A = this chain, B = another copy of it.
Amino acid sequence: MKNLQQITVIGMGLLGGSVTLSILRSLNGVKAVGYSHRESTRNRARELCIASEIADDMNEAVKGADIVILATPIYTFERIFKEIASSIKPGAIITDVGSTKVLPHRWGEKIFSKDVAYVGSHPIAGSEKSGVDYARDDLLVGAKCIVTRKKKTNEEAVKTLVQFWAALGSRVSVMSPAEHDRIFGSVSHLPHVVAVALVNASNFEQLKYAGKGFIDTSRIASGPSNVWSDILLSNTSNTARGIDRMIKQLSTIKEAIEKDDQRKLANLLEKARTKRAELIDYKISKKELL
């Protein structure tokens, strides 16, 4: 990670603000520049001392940056890439923290010239809270971070970005954007759809009797709807396939219930119980859960 002098983060929400705070905490001597298109957010970010500097202009913000990180909704990426393309210095690395990676790669490769390297990033960190006020300098510590690359992606840029996220305390894996979107379609986007569908399938008067089970099962439905509709719409086919698998499983359970098939139903429940227990054991062994 030699020669990193400036890193610019565009978008000062929970994640963007946490990235600049983490740079201040972990990368001594590196200037962390932040930018938000909202004046109120820029002012708040300054009050919270969230970055070395908060720029008022996006092109000024990226000038001289060795790494530029977009932490805005996915569907703003294409436009922002076009706007900043001429201000980026040669040799710079562009990345983003978006939750899907196929489309950002497509846009990055289309828009930037050959002397600028686009590499994807997806730090698996966040909260159902949003906004710069919730930014934390330890949000990325211990978090998984996926770095995505295609065959033609610049090798040095991938290496630098892996080192960068690791320096902030994240546990980095590298994979292709297609594999990333397949995996996160299943383990992240599908659960989100499921939580939303569960809340929408429920009656508010009845929900007054809900216990901790419903509260936990539906927690992620409290995520910001604009961010999540972008995520789902940028991973259409994987999400749709996941919904199909979910409907199939629900239908199988319904059939066992309606046929009063105790053995089949108990097997389905036990299969889920065992699989989840193995998952928890795996996560504990990797120190991802306590």
Kindly report how many copies of this chain are found in the complex they form together.
2
- Chain A window 217-253, contacts with chain B (Cβ cutoff 8 Å), 1 for yes, 0 for no: 1111111111011001100100110111111111111
Residue of B nearest to A244 (CB): B254
What residues of chain B lie closer than 8 Å to A182, measured between beta carbons? 206
Q: Are A262 and B233 in contact (CB under 8 A)?
A: yes
**Which residue of B229, B254, B270 is within 8 Å of A243 (Cβ)?**
B254
Which residue of chain B has its CB nearest to the CB of A226?
B266
The residues of B that contact A49 with a CB separation of less than 8 Å are none
The listed residue with most B CB atoms (<10 A of its CB), out of A183, A272, A283, is A272
Question: Which of chain A's residues 166-218 have a Cβ closer than 8 Å to chain B?
Answer: 173, 182-184, 186-188, 190-204, 206-211, 213-218
Residues in B whose Cβ lies below 8 Å from that of A211 = 124, 144, 187-188
A277 within 8 A of B: yes
CA distance A23 to B10 in the complex (A): 59
Contact of A275 with B by CB under 8 A: yes
| Distance in angstroms between the alpha carbons of A215 and B249 in the assembled complex | 18
Q: Which one, B186, B240, B271, contacts A258 given CB within 8 A?
A: B240
B194, B232, B269: which contacts A265 (Cβ < 8 A)? B232
- The CA of A216 and the CA of B283, in the complex, are separated in Å by 13
A198 to B272, CA, bound (A): 8
Cβ of A270 and Cβ of B195 under 8 Å apart? no
* A199 to B216 CA separation, bound complex (whole angstroms): 15
| B257 pairs with A200, CB closer than 8 A | no
Given A200-B249, A233-B262, A265-B233, A221:B272 Cβ within 8 A: yes
Interface: A150 (CB within 8 A): no
A89-109: CB near B (< 8 Å → 1, else 0) gives 000000000000000000000
In the complex, A254 Cα to B237 Cα: how many Å?
10
Q: Return the 10 tightest CB-CB contacts between A and B, nearest first.
A: A225-B269, A197-B249, A199-B272, A225-B270, A187-B210, A201-B245, A196-B272, A229-B266, A191-B217, A221-B272
**New contact pairs (8) apart from A186-B207, A188-B214, A196-B268, CB-CB < 8 Å:** A184-B209, A208-B282, A226-B266, A228-B269, A232-B253, A239-B257, A240-B257, A247-B247
Q: List 30 A-B contacts (CB under 8 A).
A: A124-B211, A187-B202, A187-B206, A188-B211, A188-B214, A190-B198, A193-B253, A194-B194, A196-B269, A196-B272, A198-B246, A199-B275, A200-B249, A200-B271, A201-B249, A207-B275, A210-B279, A210-B283, A216-B216, A216-B220, A221-B272, A221-B273, A223-B269, A225-B266, A225-B270, A232-B253, A232-B257, A233-B257, A240-B254, A243-B257
A residues engaging B (CB < 8 A)? Answer: 124, 144, 146, 173, 182-184, 186-188, 190-204, 206-211, 213-226, 228-229, 232-233, 236, 239-240, 242-254, 257-258, 260, 262, 265-266, 268-273, 275-280, 282-283, 289
